Structure 1
Amino acid sequence: MQSDIADSDLRTARRTRRGRDSAPRIQASTEVDGGRYAPLSNGDVDSIHLAALNILANIGMSEAPDIVSETIVAAGGAIAADGRLVFPPALVTAALDGLSRTVTLPARDPIHDLCLSGRRVYVGSGGAAPMVVDLEADTYRPSTLRDLYDAARMVDALENVHFFSRSVVARDMEGLEALDINTAFASLAGTSKHVMVAAHDPAHVRAIARMCHLIAGSEEAFRARPFLSLNINHVVPPLRYSEEACAVLAEAVRQGIPAHVNTFGQMGASSPVTIAGCVAQTVAETLAGVIFAWALDPSAKVVFGVRPMVTDLRTGGMAGGAGEQALLTAAVVQMVQHYGLPNSTIAGATDSKIADAQSGYEKCLSVNLAAQTGANMITQACGMQAGLMGCSFESYVIDNEMLGAILRSMAPIEVSAATLSPETIGEVVRGEGHFLGHSDTLARMQTDFLYPRLADRRDPEEWQAAGAPEIRQPAKTRAREILDTHFPAPLPADIEAAIRAEFDIRLPESIMRPA
């Protein structure tokens, strides 16, 4: 009889729950740690580390620019007989010992500051896609500066997305200088969270730094709280430096701008076809950039950006949604955790073209494994489709909900007398026979559960009566609502005016305010 009563009450509770919008929404905590998942054994980690040392000491890097070779040789490296720059194990060890174990990436609003340390996990955007999925037409089109600004506004509004890394390329910008400067401005104007952009030339780095100084109030203020950092791909795998990117890295260090030193190898193409070999090469290549930055300035703010990707060997294209990709990412993150260095990686690079079931399972698998391994920053975790070729606003909204669930799953489980509560269990089973109306249930409903806005938990009858909607429909509605109404705290008028007077800013002021 008690079971019947409980079932009836449960059905009533479901039906009288006045829609998903009436339930309290608890934001997933940003204070979550990963590190519970480790695909590599301790022996595996040691073997991969020794392989990376071997690669650096006996193979080395080709095409090292003068500033790199001179800096590394002065720190203890050498030029081998074949002209390659090699790194003795003692140099690698010195750098690993000397690099900071904590890098703080501030935001314009301090509530969004990121502390990259230990196994703390943050998730954000990224991708630099050349296309956008049009919210109304459901078709792919070239991305624009306005799309970039809108993407930043989306991220600013989404509670489970912690930072904004450039999501799209503003293809309506002519010339790399205009692209870099306008990308920085649109990103900073679109969100008060930490911003990550890129630069193609040291002069562009200086211009971006100058813009940040104006926003911060002074160069000293920005150096103390650098709310913008640079993604820098210093290497062209396999084991070859990029002269332009190394010059950008050097300038970022000089300007006090945090640098994400990133390596994008393609397993089976520009990296070995085995996960272990790909991880070893990726670690070596990333170390080759991190050591350069450290040798330039031991206090440089450097993030170890291990980002190997999987190749579909049938076509030669990227397979960002593959199970092998999730495993590869987790393994390379575990290696950086072994070193204890602030790090970032990519997860969420689904191969699906729209926010469908394929997109959901591919993103959730890769982001979850990266988070559970303890990646400090997971970029491309939301909004991206088609192997990072397209950005989707409705995907941002859906993925925000997915990220909340992943972050919530990482919270520690409280085991105490209060949570075990055998007295309460005895009281309930001898009384009403269910916990639905118990005071502890009602209290913890407000604190312990993350309630979705989009995911449909109605019973089938209610769902069918509502027209049997699928998740993309409410996601589109929510995305339109954000784009129509959410405008972050604007830059002060005098600062924006000063920036527009000094730089060729192409983003119209008219779109930066509500219509």
Structure 2
Amino acid sequence: MEHGCTVEELASRPTLMTVTNVNSPRRVDAEILDNIMVMAGHGQCVVITPFTLMGAMAPVTLAGALAQQTAEGLGIIALCQLLRPGAPCVLGGFTSNVDMRSGSPAFGTPEYLHAVFASAQIGRRLRIPVRTSAVNASPTVDAQSTYESAFSLQAAVLSHSHLINHAAGWLEGGLSASLEKIVVDAELLRNWAEILKPVSFSDDDLAVDAIKAVAAGGHFFGSPHTLARYQTAFYRPLLSDWSSFESWTQAGAHDATARATAIWKKVLADYVPPPLDPAVSEAIAAYVATRKGALEGTSPA
């Protein structure tokens, strides 16, 4: 009723999405199955993601893990269609490898990228949308977390996957999150948004007249063509520091993680909550307290 329509009318315009996991191999927990059935029965989107870690919950070979992932995902999609034909579904891909020395999940690895590319191809063959992630297994915000996330995000984009989960803030294979990592990932996402913009090759962009106007061995800093465009010509980073080592040192030698800390603190300090009816705010707080108490097995004070 919050949407101003009946349950049946809501099914005609899916608004909600749930991301569910198969407890691989070949098991769906009762709570998750109940969630799937309720959402599909009401015509809302179900994202089915088998948790197929190669060598642990799936075969150690990529082909075997992909076969299992596809079978488990299609099994749940078939259930959704039995419950409500046409219920929207997304085939999730989360196949990756584990560290065979410790059993810990690994993400952003070559094996993970192979799985992302293959999962997207399988989805296109089946004409089903595909979900992937921008993940890493680093325990902290460092070079490892950045390059693993960058590889994962690159695979998500280049594979033409439809939905990217865990696109910002993920650490330690999903066991923790970080505000600094959110800022780092925001920089990665902003870069990709810029990369994916089409490049213009108009006569003005080809700049033949500007090239002719600059003498051999000269420069374009003072060119009218440059001066008319320099403020918007290039991507302006949120986090990157392009200064020299000397200038960077004199400014305090703040690395990317330290700069990310400063950014999120400023964002929170400058945040102004949108106006909200006090009665609505109280109702939300009461609902949260009730649900929290139910989940913890206690009654709200």
Tell me, yes or no, whether TM beats 0.5.
Answer: yes
Question: Which position in structure 1 is the counterpart of 2:98?
Answer: 311
User: For 1:253 and 1:490, how far apart are their aligned partners in 2?
Assistant: 34
Is 1:293 the counterpart of 2:68? The answer is no
Partner Cα separation in structure 2 for residue 467 and residue 409 of structure 1 = 31
Which one of 430, 436, 450 corresponds to residue 221 of structure 2?
436
- Give the number of the structure with larger relative contact order, counting CA–CA contacts within 8 Å between residues 6 or more apart: 1
Deviation sequence 1:164-211 (CA, Å, 0-9, x none): xxxxxxxxxxxxxxxxxxxxxxxxxxxxxxxxxxxxxxxxxxxxxxxx
Residue 132 of structure 2: SS of its match in structure 1?
A: strand
Is 1:332 aligned to residue 119 of structure 2? yes
Q: Find 1:393's aligned residue among 179, 199, 203.
A: 179
Aligned counterparts of 2:162 and 2:207: Cα–Cα separation in 1: 35
Determine the structure 2 residue equivalent to 1:415.
201
How many angstroms apart in 1 are the aligned matches of 2:272 and 2:70?
A: 40
- What is the aligned length? 291
Runs of 5+ consecutive residues of structure 1 not aligned to the other structure: 1-212, 508-515
**Deviation for aligned residue 1:444:** 4.1
Give 1:167-178 correspondences, 5 Å limit. Answer: none
What is the deviation of 1:301?
Answer: 2.2
Q: Distance in 2 between matches of 1:382 and 1:410?
A: 19
* Pick aligned residue for 1:373 from 159, 163, 167: 159
Structure 1 residues 227 and 458, CA, compared in 2 at 3 Å: closer, same or farther?
A: farther
Rounded Cα–Cα distance in structure 1 between residues aligned with 2:252 and 2:28:
56
SS in 2 for 1:387: helix
SS at match of 2:49: strand
SS at match of 1:262: strand
Following superposition, the deviation at residue 217 of structure 1 comes to 4.5
Q: 1: distance between equivalents of 2:114 and 2:15? A: 32
Instruction: Give, in angstroms, the shift of residue 251 of structure 1.
Output: 0.6
Q: 2:260 aligns with which of 475, 490, 493?
A: 475
Q: Percent identity?
A: 31
Q: What is the CA-CA distance between 1:256 and the residue it aligns to? A: 3.4
Deviations 1:90-139 (A, max 9, x none): xxxxxxxxxxxxxxxxxxxxxxxxxxxxxxxxxxxxxxxxxxxxxxxxxx
CA drift of 1:345 comes to 1.1
CA-atom RMSD in angstroms = 2.7
- Spell out the pairing of 1:11-30 with structure 2 (5 A cutoff): none
Is the CA contact 1:304–1:344 (under 8 Å) kept in the aligned structure 2?
yes
Extract structure 1 runs of 4+ deviating beyond 6 A. Answer: none
Q: In the alignment, residue 314 of structure 1 is paired with which amino acid?
A: R
Please list every run of 5 or more consecutive structure 2 residues that lacks an aligned counterpart in the other structure. Answer: 294-301
- Amino acid in the other structure paired with 2:270: T
Match for residue 384 of structure 1? 170
CA–CA distance in 2 between the matches of 1:246 and 1:474?
43
Q: Is the 8 A contact 1:323 1:366 kept in 2?
A: no
Q: Is the 8 A contact 2:93 2:115 kept in 1?
A: no
Counterpart Cα distance in 1 of 2:24 and 2:144:
30
Note the C-alpha offset of 1:433: 2.4
TM-score normalised to structure 1 length: 0.52
Shift of the 394–251 alpha-carbon distance from structure 1 to 2, 3 Å rule, reads: same
Residue 188 of structure 2 is aligned with which of 402, 414, 422?
Answer: 402
